[in-house]
Amino acid sequence: MQHEEPKSPVSFLAHVARLPHSGLPVTIEADAAQREALASEHGLLSVENYRADLLVSPWKRHGVKVAGKVEADITQACVVSLDPVQAHIDEPVEGLFLPRDLKLGRLGFEGGGEILLDAEGPDAPETFDGDSIDVGALAEQFFGLAIDPYPHKPGAVLDNGGEEAAESEFQRKLKSLLGKS
């Protein structure tokens, strides 16, 4: 059997076959190589620190709940000036999981019937195989969603080259046709 490489730089498999009722605390603190891989994967200049504090606990009869938070200090390039912009991420993490071999997990959305979704409510449970869940990959998903897609350095403005440069060819032709200068 071929061993599959982890997909996340901060991959951490939590064994969920026999979870204590109080839950299993998991802390993931990224080392320099993991932070560099996170920066590369998410288009960041750097990740100065990354830490996920999670609690993996039983949920309902056969499910698993992962809750906690991910914190990180990152540096991005400003979309206007390309200067470094620092940001702090403090994002809650939450996920529900059901074993794929459970009837509900197998049926998913293909089971027929009607499924009501509440846009403001919790996400539907994900399924997992075996006896472990990659809680590190889950934390990285929430980290990625918390990154500002358009970081902007305070005071940075786009220099449009003055009013004349910004004026389009169409606008110039229209003004000449109308006899305006």
Q: Which two structure tokens, joined as six digits, stand for 99?
A: 């074993």
Q: What is the pLDDT of residues 149-168, one digit of tens each?
A: 999 888 777 765 555 544 55
pLDDT at position 3: 47
pLDDT at position 180: 64
What percentage of the chain exceeds 90 in pLDDT? 54
pLDDT at position 2: 46
pLDDT at position 144: 96
What percentage of the chain exceeds 70 in pLDDT? 73
Listed in sequence order, the residues at least 6 apart from 49 whose beta carbon sits closer than 8 Å to its beta carbon are: 29, 30, 35, 71, 72, 73
Grade residue 1 by pLDDT with cuts at 50, 70 and 90: very low
Return mean pLDDT, the chain: 83
Q: Which two structure tokens, joined as six digits, stand for 77?
A: 């390039």
Q: From CA 20, how far away is CA 106, in angstroms rounded?
A: 25
pLDDT at position 44: 96
Grade residue 62 by pLDDT with cuts at 50, 70 and 90: confident
Q: Could you tell me the pTM of the whole model?
A: 0.75
Q: Identity (one letter) of the amino acid at 82?
A: L
CA distances, 30 to each of 11, 17, 77, 122, 178 (Å): 10, 26, 22, 28, 64
Q: What is the pLDDT of residues 63-117, one digit of tens each?
A: 999 999 999 999 999 988 889 999 999 999 999 999 887 655 444 445 555 555 5
The arithmetic mean of pLDDT across residues 34-44, rounded, is: 96
Q: From CA 58, how far away is CA 145, in angstroms rounded?
A: 26
